[in-house]
Amino acid sequence: MSDETRPSRTAAVIPAAGRGVRLGPGAPKALRALNGTPMLIHAVRAMAASRSVSLVVVVAPPDEASSAEVKTLLADHALPERTDFVVVPGGESRQESVKLGLDALPPGIDVVLVHDAARPLVPVDTVDAVIEAVREGAPAVVPALPLADTVKQVEESRADGGPELVVATPERARLRAVQTPQGFDRGTLVRAHETVTDNVTDDASMVEQLGEPVVVVPGHEEAFKVTRPLDLVLAEAVLARRRANDGF
Ligand code: CTP
Ligand code: MG
């Protein structure tokens, strides 16, 4: 096929190597269950639900037992036949884990999604909207929502432990809470990971540092990140609501 007619191929990298310190003691966060199914499996299903995603790379906690457990979980849960799955060990930081996932991508993939295992419930429509925006030419795409809370910027943390001083209140209407999957032109994301060494909390900010445009598509309230114990309660409530709605 010529370049013009070759369809773009999309892979999803799922960083799942974090411990989940804020969730409290227990198994690595991605391996904890939501309504009996590990969070990671929910996240993998959310990516594989998109017909555009032909490969899912899971970045597992780096210890051998967890990597083995992830492989067993993928083998034991029903997943779409049309999707390939690869498991690689992760790193010390999220950024490092994503890089290790990118290193595992085969040739022929030109669109890459990066999706937190900790966002197990993102709807497929959000995934597809991100992919479509990349295919239409954006080098980087983030799903995002307006904020409910007003945000204050505070001074750098003080040594004396005194109350923090507020230094600014950014205009809330122009702020967005950013979710995943974030979508990228593969070459742009790889370049960002090779170039940017600062500590960052998402992949799109690395592309911003390259000076490339990053665009926003609507996020979804069900794409929230499971971070603290109360988020587990919310996630299980969302699953219960889906089950009830499926009954009609
Ligand atoms: N992650 C990763 N490798 C790391 C750290 C984080 O792959 N070294 C992944 C997590 O597994 C998660 C995603 O990055 O899916 C988002 O990170 P976060 O929500 O912070 O998860 P944890 O780092 O596991 O949680 P905590 O910060 O509370 O320890
Ligand atoms: Mg973390």
**89 CA → ligand 1 middle, Å:** 13
Tell me the ligand closest to 22's alpha carbon.
Answer: 1
Q: What does the pLDDT average to over 241-246?
A: 94
* Ligand 1, atom nearest to 19 Cα: 24
State residue 158 phi and psi, 5-degree precision: -95, 150
Q: Which CATH class is domain 9-144+176-246?
A: alpha beta
Tokens describing residue 1:
């096929």
Q: What does the pLDDT average to over 92-113?
A: 98
**3 CA → ligand 2 middle, Å:** 39
User: What residue ranges do the domains of the chain occupy?
Assistant: 9-144+176-246
Rounded CA separation 196/126 (Å): 27
CB 177 within 8 A of CB 144: yes
Residue matched to tokens 């060990």: 89
Among protein residues, the one whose CA lies closest to atom 23 of ligand 1: 18
Q: What does the pLDDT average to over 195-199?
A: 91
Evaluate if residue 3 carries a pLDDT over 90: no
Residue 247 is predicted with a pLDDT of: 75
- Mean residue pLDDT of the chain comes to 95
* pTM, rounded to two decimals: 0.96
Evaluate if residue 2 carries a pLDDT over 50: no
In eight-state DSSP terms, residue 155 is: P
| DSSP secondary structure string for all residues of 81-129 | TT-EEEEEE--SSHHHHHHHHHHTPPTT--EEEE--TT-TT--HHHHHH
Q: Is residue 47 helix, strand or coil?
A: helix
Q: Ligand 1: list residues with CB < 6 Å.
A: 15-22, 29-30, 59, 90-94, 97, 116-118, 225, 227
Q: What angle do CA 106, 200, 57 make, to 5 degrees?
A: 25
Is the Cα torsion angle 211, 215, 219, 223 positive or negative in sign? negative
Evaluate if residue 4 carries a pLDDT over 60: no
**20 CA → ligand 2 middle, Å:** 7
**22 CA → ligand 1 middle, Å:** 10
Residue 158 is predicted with a pLDDT of: 74
